[in-house]
């Protein structure tokens, strides 16, 4: 049977998000003069959770992280770690460590010296420093490089030195500010899984700031999507992707097609939406808080949910429309089709390339039919 790793205090952390919040952010705002960078944000983060703050540049995610670290002071609200108000503690007294995007390694020090630096500052006994540095380097698989200088390391190795330095002080909360941004795509993807494995082994709560949707979806137990200083949605990666609550979240996370329409009727468990490009109307699962007949609505569908075919779909197929293929992007495992409907609107469909084929089944300029199941439709707020 697998067991969750122990945290620095020696007790297994509870499942992410369970019980009382380990970290509670209550109505926190941060203003710089007339500019509000963070606007009345409230979040609960569980012990042992890997939590992501996701959003574009300027949305307030890094400012929120800096307030947790103590580098900025909230204009309003409270930051509580295990019930203790962090505002009363200077940065060096907080059981929090922060890993910066730049890594900020000392070029004249060895790998071991960089990792040991914070412990020396805290006057930890020399023997204990040696043991903890050795454990931290083993954790990130850099024991053999302990005597090297930063300029002798690859980007991924420098990233792991910075992570070891952040973990060696045994913080109860680790903050990561775009920690993988300097790595190339392939190394970044590999390091994401390494970071997840390390977090699971040490059992420390991680809060990562990133603008990379794929990165957040890969590493996080839950994601807070931020927009102009506010929280747009907090949920698991699958719920954020499959059930976004607004157009902003749907468009920020992955690719999406959005249709403007008007609710016309509820047909059993489905709501029917009148839409100019779909003669038979569009359909989505009805819900208790759904729109009334006549209300304007937005209906979203992910490209991989849309089937594309040269043949007409069977009679009565929900969510059917037709158009002309204008562009095809072959991406190896998938192909992306851009289809111009008769109205001029472009719809994107992504198909898995399951079989090796000598030629394209559907060519550019072909007349095609698009369809998708009712359960793939998502009703959105504008």
Q: Which two tokens stand for residue 60?
A: 């307030």
Instruction: Please give the distance of CA 302 from its chain centroid, rounded to a whole number.
Output: 17
How many residues comprise the chain? 382
Q: 3-class DSSP state for residue 11? A: coil
> Tell me, what's the pLDDT at 357?
54
Look up the pTM and report it: 0.86
Burial 122-151 (b: 16+ CB within 10 A, else e): eebeeeebeebbeebbebbebeebeeebbe
Q: Measure the CA–CA gap between 369 and 278, rounded to whole angstroms.
A: 11
CA angle at 365 for the pair 360 and 366, rounded to the nearest 5°:
65
Q: What is the pLDDT at residue 129?
A: 92
- Can you give the pLDDT of all 382 residues of the chain as single tens digits? 333 333 333 334 344 444 468 999 999 999 999 999 999 999 999 999 999 999 999 999 999 999 999 999 999 999 999 999 998 899 988 999 988 877 788 999 999 999 999 899 889 999 999 999 999 999 888 999 999 999 999 888 888 898 999 899 889 999 999 888 877 888 888 888 988 988 998 999 999 999 999 999 999 999 999 999 999 999 999 999 999 999 999 999 999 999 999 998 877 788 899 998 998 889 999 877 778 888 899 999 999 999 999 998 888 788 999 999 999 998 888 999 999 999 999 999 999 987 655 445 789 999 999 999 999 999 986 5
Cα-atom radius of gyration of the chain, to the nearest Å? Answer: 25
Residue 102 pLDDT: 77
pLDDT recorded at residue 317 = 82
Residues 6+ positions from 146 with CB-CB distance below 8 Å: 110, 111, 112, 133, 137
Pairing mode, strands 96-99 and 173-177: parallel
Tell me the backbone φ, ψ of residue 14, rounded to 5 degrees.
Answer: -70, 170
Q: What is the pLDDT of residue 360?
A: 53
Q: Distance between CA atoms of 302 and 126, rounded to whole angstroms?
A: 56
* pLDDT attached to residue 190: 85
Q: In angstroms, rounded to a whole number, what is the distance separating the alpha carbons of residues 237 and 208?
A: 14
- Max distance between CA atoms of the chain, in angstroms, equals 78
């Amino acid at each position: 049977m697998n067991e969750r790793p122990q945290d620095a205090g020696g007790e297994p952390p509870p499942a992410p998000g369970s019980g009382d919040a380990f970290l509670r952010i209550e109505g926190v705002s941060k203003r710089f003069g007339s500019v509000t960078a963070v606007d009345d944000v409230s979040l609960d983060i569980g012990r042992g959770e890997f939590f992501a703050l996701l959003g574009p540049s300027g949305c307030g995610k890094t400012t929120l992280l800096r307030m947790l670290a103590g580098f900025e002071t909230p204009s309003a609200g409270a930051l509580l770690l295990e019930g203790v108000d962090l505002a009363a503690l200077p940065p060096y007294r907080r059981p929090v460590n922060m890993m910066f995007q730049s890594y900020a390694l000392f070029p004249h020090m060895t790998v071991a010296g960089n990792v040991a630096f914070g412990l020396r500052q805290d006057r930890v006994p020399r023997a204990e420093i040696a043991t903890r540095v050795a454990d931290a380097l083993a954790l990130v698989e850099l024991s053999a490089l302990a005597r090297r200088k930063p300029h002798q390391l690859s980007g991924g190795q420098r990233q792991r030195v910075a992570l070891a330095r952040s973990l060696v002080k045994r913080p109860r909360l680790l903050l990561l500010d775009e920690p993988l941004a300097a790595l190339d795509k392939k190394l970044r993807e590999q390091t994401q899984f390494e970071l997840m494995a390390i977090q699971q082994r040490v059992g420390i709560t991680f809060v990562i700031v990133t603008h990379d949707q794929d990165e957040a979806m890969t590493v996080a137990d839950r994601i807070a999507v931020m927009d102009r200083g506010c929280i747009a949605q907090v949920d698991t990666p699958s719920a954020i992707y499959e059930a976004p609550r607004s157009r902003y979240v749907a468009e920020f996370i992955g690719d999406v097609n959005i249709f403007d329409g008007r609710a016309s009727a509820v047909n059993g468990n489905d709501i029917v939406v009148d839409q100019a490009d779909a003669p038979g109307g569009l359909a989505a699962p009805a819900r208790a808080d759904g729109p009334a007949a006549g209300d304007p609505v937005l209906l979203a569908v992910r490209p991989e949910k849309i089937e594309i075919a040269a043949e007409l779909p069977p009679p009565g197929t929900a969510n059917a429309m037709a158009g002309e293929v204008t562009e095809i992007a072959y991406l190896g495992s998938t192909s992306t089709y851009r289809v111009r409907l008769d109205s001029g609107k472009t719809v994107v469909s992504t198909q898995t390339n399951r079989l090796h084929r000598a030629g394209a089944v559907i060519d550019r300029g072909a007349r095609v039919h698009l369809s998708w199941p009712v359960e793939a439709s998502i009703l959105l707020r504008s």
